[in-house]
Structure 1
C-alpha cells in the first residue's frame, strides 16, 4: 500500500499531543533541588563526579554523560564504535552529554535537554546509593524515534524511579539517520572484513558491552541485564534477540510497540542487493545521497569527500517527518549484525530464548484520523479493496468504528488498521512465535487514557505508555490519582520482570505465559491490570490474514 509508505513517519505529528512533555521539568527540578554534586565514584576508565539524590524513598546516585565510545567523527564517521579512552582528571558526570545529530521538530513529547553533536556516544546511569557492593538487576533502555530522532536526555526517560525501586538503570545515545545507518560502495571497498551499515546498532552493542564490563562499579549485576525499548527502540531489541553479536549481553527483553512484520510498513532493506520486492539496497540510498551533494560514485575520493562533509550536510533536514526518502535506508540486513528480517528470524526460532515481555498500546496510530484524515481514509479504502473477505473484515472492525448513523467511520478505521498492522498484530505474532519455541513470554496491551484526555481520544496512542512505565507522569493538576495509580502498577510490573524474570504481582493470580491457543493477555486499563482473553482477537486475526495474502 503506497499510502502506508507515504505516512510511515507521521508519528511526529502526533508527538505534540502526548501526555509526556508537560510537567517533566517540574519533576526534574524537584530532583535537582534534593541533589548534591560533591561525590566521587571510581570506574575502570577513571574517576567520576556524580549527582546524589538523597531525599527520596531510596537514595540514588545519578551519573550523566559517561563516554562508552570515542567520538565517531572525521575518519571515524561510518566506522564501528571505538572504545572510550581513559581520562586523567575527574569526569564531571553531572550534566547530560550532547545527543546525536538529528533534525528536531516542534512539539516533540520527549524534548531533548542538551545540544547535538557527532560526539554523542555517552550513557547515563541511575543506581541505588546504598551498598553498591550488592549486585542489583540492570535495565538498559533504548530510546525510539524512527532511528532518526530521539536521545537519552529527555526528562521522560529519567531512571530515578527505577533506581528507587532497586534497579540500576542505564540509558544511552546511538547514532541516528545517515550517521547511524549508511552504506556506500566506497565503504564496502575500504572495510571488506568489518561490519558495515548498521552503525547505530553497533553503538547499541558497544553500550551493552560497556555495561557488561563496568556495571559492577555501580552496584549492578552484569549477569542480570534486561534490555528494553519502545517503537524503534523496541525494534532494536528484536534485532538484538536475533543477532549473534548481541548474544550474552542481556538476559531478558521487553519490547514496547516494536513491530516485527516485514510488509510495506517495515521494509526489508539489504546492504548491497535489492530486496525481494525490488526495493533499493542501502548502498543505492548511499549513492543517491552522495549524488545529491555532488559526489560521484566513481570518484576515487568519494569516501573521503563524504567524511569531510559538514554534519549538517549529512543530516540535510532528515527527521521522522521526511525519513521515507530515496537517500536514506534505515537499518539493513548486513550479514553480520542483522542476518534476516525480524519476522523471518522468529518464524525460524533463531532468537535468543530469553524471557520476553512484549506488547503495544491498543490504538497505536489513533492520531492519524485527526492529523491526516485523507491518508487514513485512503488506508481504509485500499485495505477493504484488497482483502479476500470484505464482509468478514468489516464485521471484525465494526464494533470499534461504526458511527452513530451506522456507517463506517473511515478515518477511524484507517487509523486503526495502520496501527494494528504496524504494531499490535506484530506484537502478537512475535509473542506467538516466541512461545512456540519455549521462550517464556508475556503479551501485554496498554489501553489506559489519562484523565485529562478522556473524551478527547479514542484509545491509547503510540508512546503514551512511556511515562507510566518510567513513573514520570507530570506533577500538575491535570494528572489524577488514578493516573498515578496506573503508573505505579505498570512501573512495578517492569521492575518485577527485571528482578524475577516474571512481571506477575507478588500477590494474587499469576500472569500466564502467552500462547496462541488461549490468547490471554495482560491489559493495563482503568482497573490497573487484568488478565483476559484478547478483546481485539477478531480484528487482529483479519490483519494476520491480510498480511498472509
Structure 2
C-alpha cells in the first residue's frame, strides 16, 4: 500500500468510526494516525543474515538499521489448528528471505481499510535492529502490539516502522495476531474438546506466543530477553493491560507501556447463561450458519466454515459497520477485569507508563452532533461536572467524555500500580501539529503514534483530497522527545529527561507529563478538579458512551 493510500484510507476509517453506535467506538484504533504525518518504508540497500532456532533469515539493511519481516512465530492457525492455542512454528532449510511483511490476519473490510494481502495464515513477527550488532549484544527490546478493536489492523503499516527506535539502540519487534471471531471466540463444542479448560482468547494467546518467541530468539538479533518492554495502543494498549494481569504472561516482559488502553473496560465472561457471555455469542453465530449441538460434529463444522465467513467478509456486508469482538474472562489467560486486578495488587509489578490523548472523543461523533444529549448522560451531576470544563457546550461534551473514558481511568490505574511500589509514569498527549491547529481541539485517538515511532513526513503530500505539509521543526522536536522518553524507559525503566524536562513518577501528587502544543511539562495534581469530580461520582463512569 502506498503511503498516500494508507493515509487516505485511514481518514475514511476515522470518519466511519465516529458513527459507530454504543460501545463500539471505544474499541477502535485508527490504523494510521489522524495527523497524517507519516513516512514511507525504507528502500533496501544491503542484506544481513541471522541464524534462528527455526532456521536462518536474511533481512535488509538501510542506513544504520537492519530489518527482518514476516518471520513465523507459530504454526499457521488453519484447519484443525483454528481456535487452538498457537502451536510451534516449523523449521526450514537454507536461508529464508525476510524482506517483506507476511500477510495481515484476515479481517472484514472496514471503512475502505483492507490490507492488500491477508490470510488466516498470518502469525509472523518483524524485527528492526541496529545494523552490525552482534549476537549476544543484549540490547533492550521493545515489542509493539498494534490496535484495531481486536477486529482489524496489521503490523505492516508505515507508522509502525521501527527504524527510528532501532537507531536509538533498541531492538524493535512487532507482530500480527488473530482478529475478530478467529481471534476471540468461544463455543461449548470447542470448550468440551480442550483439555486445558476454557479457552477463547486466541489473539491474546498469540501475543503471549510472540513474547515467548522473543525470549527464545531475540539474542540472535542482539537483544536481551531479560529486558523486554511491551507497548501498544488502543486494543494494543488494552492487550498490554491484559498481559500485566494474565498469569500466563508472567516473566515474559520487564516493563510495559499502555497507550490509550481504556483501562476501565469490563470484559464479558466466557461461560454463563446470559446473552452477553462469549459462549452465548458463539452459539448464536454457529446457529446463524446452520450449526447446532455441542459435540465434536459442531466443532468440525465450525472449523469447516470458510475463514471469510467467520471474519465477516460476506456479500452485502456493510463496510461502515465493524464486527466488534472482545477478549473474555476465561479463568486461564484472563481471570478478572484489569481494574480489579490492579486494585488487589495482582498485576505484574514492573515499571509502567500509562496515558491517553486529549481528544479521545474524536472517535465519538455524537459528542459534537448532540453535545446536550452527551452531557445529559451525567444525570443529576450534569451541571456540576460540565461547569468544571471551560468552553462552549460542544467542547465541554468532548472533554468530559475524554476524561470519563480515558484520563480519569488512567489516573486511577496509575495510582493503584504506584501504591503497590512499582515505578509508574502517566502522560497526557496534547500536542497538535501547526498544520492542524484550529481544526482539532487536541490530540485524537492514535495521534501520538507517529511521534512515539518518529515517523514524520519529510515532504508535502496529497491525501484525503487536500495537501498536507511536511513536518515542521516543532513537530520533529516533539517526536524526538517522545522517542527519547520511550527508549530511555526501555533501557532503564525510567523515561528520564527529554527536551530538558524530567518525567517524574506519579506519586505522591498525581503528576502527569503533558505533551502540549507549545511545550512539554510535568504537572502535579493534574486536572484535579475535573478528575476528582468524575471519581466522586462513579455512576457517571458507568454511563454508556455516546
What is the TM-score when the length of structure 2 is the normalising length?
A: 0.88
Change (3 A) 1:74 1:20: farther
Task: For 2:223 and 2:348, locate their aligned partners in 1 and report how far apart those are by CA, in whole Å.
Answer: 22
1:89 aligns with 2:94: yes
1:105 aligns with 2:110: yes
Task: For 2:154 and 2:357, locate their aligned partners in 1 and report how far apart those are by CA, in whole Å.
Answer: 22
1:237 aligns with 2:252: no
1:183 aligns with 2:183: no
Unaligned stretches of 5+ residues in structure 1 = 404-408
1:68 aligns with 2:73: yes
**Deviation at residue 17 of structure 1 after TM alignment:** 9.0
Alignment deviations for residues 76-99 of structure 1 (CA, whole Å, 9 cap, x no partner)? 000000010110131110000001
Which residue does the alignment assign to 1:43? 52
Unaligned stretches of 5+ residues in structure 2 = 1-17, 461-468, 541-546
RMSD: 2.5
**Deviation at residue 21 of structure 1 after TM alignment:** 4.4
Alignment deviations for residues 367-414 of structure 1 (CA, whole Å, 9 cap, x no partner)? 534x7744654322222xx24x333212212x1xx33xxxxx1x4333
Task: For 2:209 and 2:29, locate their aligned partners in 1 and report how far apart those are by CA, in whole Å.
Answer: 32
Change (3 A) 1:379 1:119: same
Change (3 A) 1:378 1:297: farther
**Deviation at residue 131 of structure 1 after TM alignment:** 3.0
Which residue does the alignment assign to 1:406? none
Change (3 A) 1:126 1:20: farther
Aligned equivalent of 1:489, options 457, 473, 481: 481
Task: For 1:103 and 1:149, locate their aligned partners in 2 and report how far apart those are by CA, in whole Å.
Answer: 7
Task: For 2:330 and 2:398, locate their aligned partners in 1 and report how far apart those are by CA, in whole Å.
Answer: 33
**Deviation at residue 513 of structure 1 after TM alignment:** 1.1
Task: For 1:533 and 1:197, locate their aligned partners in 2 and report how far apart those are by CA, in whole Å.
Answer: 42
Describe how 1:7-22 pairs up with structure 2 within 5 A.
Answer: 7-10=22-25, 15=30, 18-19=33-34, 21=36
8 Å CA contact 1:449–1:459 kept in 2: the answer is yes
8 Å CA contact 1:366–1:458 kept in 2: the answer is no
Runs of 4+ in 1 over 6 A off after TM superposition: 11-14
8 Å CA contact 1:489–1:528 kept in 2: the answer is no
SS at match of 1:312: helix
Which residue does the alignment assign to 1:272? 271
What is the TM-score when the length of structure 1 is the normalising length?
A: 0.87
Alignment deviations for residues 147-190 of structure 1 (CA, whole Å, 9 cap, x no partner)? 00111001110000011110000000000110000000101111
8 Å CA contact 1:74–1:308 kept in 2: the answer is yes
Change (3 A) 1:134 1:151: same
Describe how 1:275-286 pairs up with structure 2 within 5 A.
Answer: 280-286=276-282
Task: For 2:84 and 2:522, locate their aligned partners in 1 and report how far apart those are by CA, in whole Å.
Answer: 46
8 Å CA contact 2:27–2:149 kept in 1: the answer is no
Farther-moved stretch of structure 1 (224-233 vs 12-21): 12-21
Task: For 1:507 and 1:310, locate their aligned partners in 2 and report how far apart those are by CA, in whole Å.
Answer: 52
Alignment deviations for residues 502-538 of structure 1 (CA, whole Å, 9 cap, x no partner)? 10117956422102x5121111123442111355222
Alignment deviations for residues 268-315 of structure 1 (CA, whole Å, 9 cap, x no partner)? 2011125xxx66210001001111111123575111111000111101
1:513 aligns with 2:537: no
Which residue does the alignment assign to 2:129? 127
**Deviation at residue 542 of structure 1 after TM alignment:** 2.3
Which residue does the alignment assign to 2:61? 52
Task: For 2:299 and 2:370, locate their aligned partners in 1 and report how far apart those are by CA, in whole Å.
Answer: 39
Alignment deviations for residues 431-468 of structure 1 (CA, whole Å, 9 cap, x no partner)? 01001111100111100001111000111111000000
Change (3 A) 1:444 1:347: same
**Deviation at residue 135 of structure 1 after TM alignment:** 1.0
**Deviation at residue 196 of structure 1 after TM alignment:** 0.6
Which residue does the alignment assign to 1:331? 327
Farther-moved stretch of structure 1 (518-527 vs 432-441): 518-527
SS at match of 1:6: coil
SS at match of 2:536: helix
Which residue does the alignment assign to 2:374? 379
Task: For 1:21 and 1:130, locate their aligned partners in 2 and report how far apart those are by CA, in whole Å.
Answer: 32
Which residue does the alignment assign to 2:513? 522
Aligned equivalent of 1:480, options 457, 465, 472: 472
Change (3 A) 1:235 1:481: same
